[in-house]
Structure 1
Amino acid sequence: MNDSNTVRRTPWPETGSRPLVTPLQPSVVYVSDDPDALDAQYADGSGYTYAREGHPNAEVLARKIDALEGAEGGFVTGSGMSAVAAMFLGLLKAGDHVIGADQLYGRSLRMMRQDLPRFGIETTLADATDAEAIRAAIRPETRLILVEVISNPTIRVADMEGILAVAREAGVLLAVDNTFTTPRLYQPLLRGADIVLHSVTKLLAGHSDATLGYVAAADPALTARMMEANVTFGLTASPFDCWLAERGLQSFGLRLDRAEANAAALAQALSAVPGVARVIYPTLSGHPDHNRAATVLGGRGGNMLSFEIEGGRAAANALVRAAPDIAFAPTLGDVGTTLSHPASSSHRLVDAEARAAVGISEGFFRVSVGVEPADMLVAEFTAAVDAARTAS
């Protein structure tokens, strides 16, 4: 028996047609004709060599997100936090200073407070709803400002116009984590920001089965520096996850619009439920940034809302147990509604005093609203709040 032909790779069949669906290409390595051809590929960026340096599925996905964001040459990373890491590692050095919004995602806050200082990069957190607070934090060595348009999980809306002006005046890069807003509500680069980031894991992919990030800069030179860090530190995206995310992206607009309509209905309903201390959603008149939200978000509110119930951890436990069909999970952006408790998930590493300063109590919940019927969601959440009132 001669099995040599099974060991060698078989050339891909050539046909007169092409697949409608993007092929999944899990290959780690790519074959070149000779050393001259390989040199040329490295010199001009044509073709693929090693998957850590790029692969077709990542390229297809990145170009689609580029189109949504009005970007060119963005790249996909292994997670949302790896996109943040690629930015910091590629653009900063010891002695630099970074300003972050004080209500960033919990792991971004940890990176700002604990990890960057270990590398000699100083950080300051400031209120992104007040551009003057950002201005006051700027130093001669400040190189970058990182904000979220809608904060996670407090749903505050940043003073984007003011911060853009401050960054331009100071000659400081402005990076925007656009995960919550998505390019459907806000396009940072087209508004004047320097860098846009995403956790593609969330709304863009939309099905909780792919872990990815994305980052792009208006200046190709900055993108190249971030991409080099991405390759060097091995923050590579999986071809399979890229393939799944591209499939999810095809329904992104439809999913977000339906979920946004549901979120507005749920926010309005929860505002009238006894036992709910407050509801935070941009289009509600009682939102602290309501007027700004109308300008920044064009009258839209997105699919994320937060609310706070009366009572402590016992009431929070009761609410979750009373809503078994609503996934209790520390994530967002799924096609179905998910409920999270920041004090025990995204912000559990943030001390209680710091959580309290931004309004995150034991009764505080964040909701990533999905595409279910709105009346079903209202009924489920109303019953859950009633159960929490009984427990407290």
Structure 2
Amino acid sequence: MKASKSIVRRTRWPDSAGAPLVTPLQPSVVYASSSPDALDAQYDGTAPGYTYAREGHPNADVLARKIDALEGAEAGLVTGSGMAAVTAVLYGLPGQGDHVLAGNQLYGRSMRMLREELPRMGIATDMADPTDAAAMAAALRPETRLILLEVVSNPTLRVSDIAGIAALARERGILLAVDNTFTTPRGLRPFDHDADIVIHSVTKLLAGHSDATLGYVAARDPEHRKRLYETAVTLGLTPSPFDCWLAERGLQSFELRYDRAEANARALADALADTPGVRRVLYPTRPDHPDHDRAVSLLGDRGGPMVCFEIDGGRAAANALVEAAPDIAFAPTLGDIGTTLSHPASSSHRGLAPETRAALGMTEGVFRVSLGIEDADLLISEFRAAIAAATAG
């Protein structure tokens, strides 16, 4: 019998006169080249294409170009998570003997990296109040290489003095990296405010469905882009093609989701401010927000889709509130298409000492709400009922 062609041999992708409407999912780890010379040309950058997925793949590039368009960026890089993007910046740009200054309200894992991981690498770190440019200036050192901040902080929604801090960075020749996860380019584009680097947890609002774990980082300077890329590839901060494919699909509805969630956040913040049992409400564009004037100057009327509020009663009341709102997902995340509720003291900032959390305004009664696209009246009714149950005693 004549031997037939083995079915285990890889089949060439069929040619087609038509192009797919939906981005194809390409999970291939490796890409075959026609010759050693052709492979050399790809690695040298004189020929386009892909070689090994850790070094780049089509689904990541398609997603990155879409986020680039939103951020006004060029050649941004998609990573395996938001913390992978933070890692690429903090491991890739400062070096041994340098100093990094950060805002004192950041995502909990970013704070842990600054406090515990970078010092092991010989990189000194400090944190200061990003709402006060003078406090940030006082914490600078001659060896400060980079400043990291969030425009709107996690979780208490304080608004950084990005104009004052950017001026400091320019004056001292320091890189300014901005985590724009909360604000998104729908609220503010950091490159328009003199940032050098923009970071996202794509997992959150950009992807929007809690089913893809990804990050993104972009740099203004081509040399910094190269350094970020080499760091990400070397450390294996690779994104999954499937997650990139999911996030691109989620991104198609980003602006619609964001606008609806933001409208819900404004409505909920106003309603909670008049709800018995609520000690305080934080929403950037409300007149009673401590950074209201700066928020309006930076964001206009774009207060974003997050609300922070505090109730009396400590952990017992916090437990009671969550139990009284079974239809609102209690989950340590944000940016989902549905509303989620989180408790910083038991999740994102549990690693901080209680007195440190208290100094930052994160008591046991503080909750962060990430608004989804549900009916606003339904959400207000559910939260008011849960707060009433939690504070009844």
Same fold (TM > 0.5): yes
Equivalence map 1:45-60=2 (5 Å)? 46-60=48-62
Q: Does 1:16 align with 2:17?
A: yes
Q: 1:109 — aligned with what?
A: 111
Q: After superposition, give the CA deviation of every residue in 1:56-78 in whole Å (9 maximum; x if it has no partner).
A: 00000000000000000011000
Q: How many Å apart are 1:3 and its aligned residue?
A: 6.9
Per the alignment, in what secondary structure is the counterpart of residue 6 of structure 1? coil
Counterpart of 1:372 (choices 359, 362, 374) is 374
Structure 2, unmatched stretches of 5+, are none
Aligned length: 391
**SS of aligned partner of 1:208:** coil
Give matches, 1:1-392, under 5 Å. Answer: 4-44=5-45, 46-390=48-392, 392=393
CA distance in 2, matches of 1:60, 1:313: 45
| CA distance in structure 2 between the aligned counterparts of 1:3 and 1:275, rounded to whole angstroms | 77
Cα deviation, 1:287-322, whole Å, max 9, x if unaligned, reads 000011001112210001100001111100000000
Please report how far the alpha carbon of residue 5 of structure 1 lies from its aligned counterpart in structure 2 after TM superposition. 2.5
* Counterpart Cα distance in 1 of 2:307 and 2:133: 23
Query: Shift of the alpha carbon at 1:280?
Result: 0.2
Letter in 2 for 1:170: R
**What is the rounded CA distance, in whole Å, between the counterparts of 2:338 and 2:314 in structure 1?**
27
Secondary structure of 2:338's counterpart equals coil
SS at 1:47 equivalent: coil
Please give the alpha-carbon distance, in whole angstroms, between the structure 2 residues aligned to 1:356 and 1:268.
Answer: 25
- Structure 2 residue matching 1:356: 3-state secondary structure: helix
**CA distance in structure 2 between the aligned counterparts of 1:93 and 1:4, rounded to whole angstroms:** 54
Cα deviation, residue 46, structure 1: 1.8
**Where does structure 1 differ by over 3 angstroms across 4 or more consecutive aligned residues?**
1-4
Cα pair 2:202 2:214 within 8 Å, conserved:
yes
Does structure 1 retain, via aligned residues, the 8 Å contact 2:162–2:193?
no
* CA distance in 2 between partners of 1:272 and 1:223 (Å): 48
Q: Partners in 1 of 2:323 and 2:211 — Cα distance?
A: 24
Partner of 2:362, secondary structure, is: coil
Q: Give 3-state SS (helix, strand or coil) of 2:7's partner.
A: helix
Distance, in Å, in 2 between the alignment partners of 1:8 and 1:233 is 32
Alpha-carbon distance, 1:90 to partner = 1.1
Structure 1, unpaired ranges of 5+: none
Deviation at 1:146, TM superposition (A): 0.2
Amino acid at match of 1:84: V
Within 2, Cα distance between the matches of 1:3 and 1:210? 42
Structure 1 window deviating more from structure 2 (375-384 vs 36-45): it is 36-45
Structure 2 distance, partners of 1:178, 1:118, is 27
> Alignment identity in percent?
70
> What is the distance in 2 between the residues matched to 1:89 and 1:100?
14
CA distance in 2, matches of 1:305, 1:167: 30
Deviation at 1:6, TM superposition (A): 1.1
Q: 1-side partners of 2:81 and 2:234: how far apart?
A: 16
In 1, Cα distance between the equivalents of 2:267 and 2:172? 41
Q: TM-score of the superposition, structure 1-length normalised?
A: 0.99
CA distance in 2, matches of 1:346, 1:296: 26
**Cα RMSD (Å):** 0.9
Deviation at 1:378, TM superposition (A): 0.1
Partner Cα distance (1:305, 1:105) in 2: 16
d(CA) in 1 for partners of 2:228, 2:374: 38
SS at match of 1:5: coil
Q: Cα deviations across residues 265-297 of structure 1 (Å, max 9, x unaligned)?
A: 000000000000000001111000001100111
Q: Aligned partners of 1:115, 1:200: CA distance in 2, in Å? A: 23
